[in-house]
Amino acid sequence: MSTDSVRIDKWLWAARFFKTRSLATDAVDGGKVRLNGERIKPARGVKTGDLLEIDNGSTEWEVTVEGLSDTRGSATVAQALYTETERSIAERQKKAEQRKLFREPGEAIKGRPTKRDRRQIDKL
């Protein structure tokens, strides 16, 4: 791409952090995306070297912008648009490990819970 900046919502969509551009726009409007530590609007331009903090609902990312694109390509092309910081990688791995060790409270109950089962669930 020849320009030196791209709209943040287009870039997030092209880098495959969100499935649709409207989801990316809603996330930016809701404060789930920060550019260099500050809250922004969807029309804000992103440049190479910018630091983004992205919360897409399931995971949180901290990435540095390495390339610009306003079109959605393959996953390999999308991964070339950014590099994840070491701190972000460590945090994601730690959270994934915690999810692995977490036991669902109602997992032992088979079928529809009885009144007694519900009381036990409510205690937790």
Q: The whole model's pTM is what? A: 0.76
Beta strand 45-46 with 82-84: parallel, antiparallel or unpaired? unpaired
Domain-located, residue 42: yes
Helices (H), 15-85: 21-29, 75-79
Domain-located, residue 20: yes
CATH number of the domain that residue 14 is part of = 3.10.290.10
Q: Model confidence over 41-58: pLDDT tens digits?
A: 999 999 999 999 999 888
Q: Which of 6, 93, 1 is nearest to 50 (CA)?
A: 6
Domain-located, residue 57: yes
Domain-located, residue 96: yes
Q: Which of 81, 78, 21 is nearest to 49 (CA)?
A: 81
Domain enclosing residue 43, as ranges = 6-123
Domain-located, residue 63: yes
* 17 Cβ contact partners less than 8 Å away, ≥ 6 residues apart: 24, 54, 56, 61
pLDDT tens-digit profile, the chain (124 residues): 446 889 999 999 999 999 999 999 999 999 999 999 899 999 999 999 999 999 988 889 999 999 999 899 999 999 999 999 999 999 999 988 888 887 777 666 677 878 988 898 888 7
Domain-located, residue 119: yes
Domain-located, residue 100: yes
Domain-located, residue 1: no
